[in-house]
Structure formats: structure tokens, C-alpha cells
């Protein structure tokens, strides 16, 4: 049982992440009265990129060679730690602290920004500057959204949070709702989704994430794209099993199958929500984004204050 849980924990994020991107694009295409590609197109795109040759800038250093692997490895490590299958006997549970998860995300963001600067491209520097500005404003709201829940459960362990948060009294649901709103805004910002960024363009005035990987090609670009898809799935799974924690208790093989099914349903609902929001929202000007991120910070702070008092 424990071995099966570990296998699911390690493989779920990298295997399912491209499918989430495909579903998101298909929903957005349907809402725009377009046919769109099928939901498995991201898998074919990754295979195509892995088969292509790489082209490196003459100004690139070791950073450009190492950063794709650091970013991808960080996302895979986080995927193994988050509560995909919140089983208390999981040997990985002792490392599944939300502070560790946020730290690994910051590490990935740091190397992604370095990659944008390393090639000496003006677009890369622009994207890195914007990314670090948004990251500095996003992490506070993300941290407080988890900390308010951690105070209610008296633990910072994600597995413990997901198992026990469903037993909280209804009087704490207001805190849970405020924390989820703060988390959802951080989800959009961290994953370069609307209204923070346009994930499907290379226009200078709109791009943030795409600018940092504009010099990447071949397998390196595939790793960046795969890591970005994995990061979106990680946030969706955290939202599903931390802030919507019902239907996740594991006590046997039948319960394990049911928990996976319930998780997939919740992931699909949150994916649809993200896709619909992107289809109905215009991208904000960059100088208006701090106002929205300040809202995430204030919601997280209010939730934290309510949890304390």
C-alpha cells in the first residue's frame, strides 16, 4: 500500500500535468467558438521538442545549461511532497512541509529568472525583472494563506493539513474561504495566467514567463514547458486537497481508488474555473498587478488574524 502511494505521488504530477494544459486550452477554445487542438496535444509538443536540436546563444553560460534541470527537478520534488494521496504512512510525509514547498518554488523562480538574464537578450531581462517583481509580491499572500490553515490544525505539514482540515468546525469555514481566495490569486500569479500574464503569446508588452525562456530550444525548452505545466497542476492539487479537503482519507485499496477519482474530479473543476476566468478576463496593465496581489496579501492576513484570535 505504502509503495503504491509513493509511486502515485512521484508520477502523478509529471504524467498528468500536460493533460491539464490541454484541457485548459480546449475549454478556452470552446468558449471562443474555436475548435482547438485535442487535449493530448501538449504531450505531442513535448515529444517533438525533445527530438529537436538545441541552439544556444553565444553569450550563454552554464546557467542556461543547468537552469532547465533545476526548475524541472524542483517541480518534480514538490509534486512528490504535496498531498496527492494524503496517506499518513507515506514515508515522504515527514518532508511535506509547506515552507519547504514554497522554498522550492522560490528556487525554481530564481533559476528561471537567471535563465532569462543569462543569454543577454533584452526580452529575457524584461521578463526576469517582471517575474521577480511579481514573485516578491505574491509569496506573502501564498504564505499567509497556508499559515492561517496551519494555525487551525497546529501543523505546517501538508499531509497533516489535508487529513485533518476536513474535520474543522463550520465556524472555521470563513477562514478557509478567505485563505482559499488569497491562494487562488497567488495561483494565477505564480503560473503566469490571466490577468497577470498571457501564457500563449510572445508579444513584448504582455509576456512575463515566455520572455524568460525565449532563448530556450529543444529539450531545454521542453523541460521548461513541462515544469510550467507541473507547477500549474501542483497549485491545483494543493487547492483541491488543502482547501477542498473532502473525500481524501485513505484506509485501503478501495479508498485509494476513490480518493484518486475524487481528486481528478476536483482538479477538473478547478481547471475549468481557471480556463473560464481566463476567457472572461482581460490582462491587466503591469502597474495594476500589485493592487491585485495586495488583495491576496490582505485576504491572507485577515485569515491569519482570524485564526489567531
Average pLDDT over residues 27-38: 89
Q: What is the pLDDT of residues 212-241, one digit of tens each?
A: 888 899 999 999 999 999 999 999 999 998
| Per-residue pLDDT at 203 | 60
Q: Are 163 and 249 in contact (CB under 8 A)?
A: yes
Positive or negative torsion for Cα 22, 103, 146, 258: positive
| Per-residue pLDDT at 267 | 94
Of 30, 166, 153, 35, residue with least CA distance to 98: 153
d(CA 89, CA 105): 25
Q: What is the pLDDT of residues 60-89, one digit of tens each?
A: 889 999 999 999 999 999 999 998 877 655
Q: State the pTM of this model.
A: 0.93
Burial letters 280-302, b for 16+ CB under 10 A, else e: eeebeeeeebeebbeebbebbbb
Q: What is the pLDDT of residues 256-289, one digit of tens each?
A: 778 788 889 999 999 999 999 988 888 888 888 8
In DSSP terms, 97 is beta-bridged to 157
Amino acid at each position: 500500500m505504502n509503495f503504491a502511494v509513493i509511486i502515485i505521488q512521484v508520477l502523478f504530477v509529471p504524467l498528468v500535468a500536460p493533460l491539464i494544459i490541454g484541457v485548459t486550452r480546449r475549454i478556452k477554445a470552446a468558449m471562443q467558438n474555436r475548435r482547438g487542438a485535442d487535449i493530448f496535444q501538449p504531450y505531442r509538443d513535448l515529444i517533438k521538442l525533445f527530438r529537436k536540436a538545441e541552439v544556444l546563444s553565444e553569450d550563454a553560460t552554464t546557467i542556461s545549461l543547468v537552469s532547465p534541470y533545476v526548475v524541472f527537478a524542483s517541480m518534480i520534488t514538490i509534486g512528490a511532497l504535496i498531498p496527492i494521496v494524503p496517506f499518513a504512512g507515506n514515508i515522504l510525509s515527514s518532508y511535506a512541509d509547506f515552507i519547504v514547498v514554497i522554498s522550492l518554488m522560490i528556487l525554481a523562480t530564481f533559476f528561471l529568472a537567471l535563465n532569462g538574464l543569462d543569454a543577454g537578450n533584452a526580452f529575457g531581462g524584461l521578463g526576469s525583472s517582471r517575474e521577480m517583481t511579481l514573485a516578491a509580491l505574491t509569496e506573502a499572500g501564498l504564505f499567509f494563506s497556508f499559515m492561517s490553515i496551519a494555525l487551525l490544525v497546529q501543523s505546517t505539514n501538508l499531509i497533516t493539513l489535508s487529513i485533518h482540515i476536513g474535520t474543522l468546525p463550520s465556524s472555521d469555514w470563513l477562514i478557509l474561504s478567505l485563505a482559499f481566495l488569497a491562494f487562488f490569486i497567488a495561483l494565477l500569479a505564480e503560473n503566469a495566467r490571466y490577468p497577470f500574464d498571457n501564457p500563449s503569446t510572445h508579444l513584448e508588452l504582455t509576456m512575463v514567463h515566455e520572455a524568460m525562456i525565449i532563448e530556450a530550444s529543444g529539450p531545454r525548452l521542453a523541460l521548461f514547458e513541462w515544469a510550467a505545466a507541473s507547477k500549474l497542476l501542483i497549485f491545483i492539487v494543493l487547492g483541491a486537497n488543502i482547501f477542498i479537503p473532502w473525500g481524501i482519507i485513505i484506509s485501503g485499496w478501495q479508498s485509494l481508488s476513490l480518493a484518486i477519482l475524487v481528486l481528478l474530479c476536483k482538479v477538473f473543476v478547478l481547471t475549468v474555473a481557471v480556463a473560464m476566468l481566463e476567457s472572461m478576463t482581460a490582462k491587466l496593465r503591469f502597474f495594476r498587478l500589485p493592487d491585485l496581489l495586495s488583495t491576496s496579501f490582505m485576504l491572507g492576513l485577515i485569515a491569519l488574524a482570524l485564526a489567531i484570535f
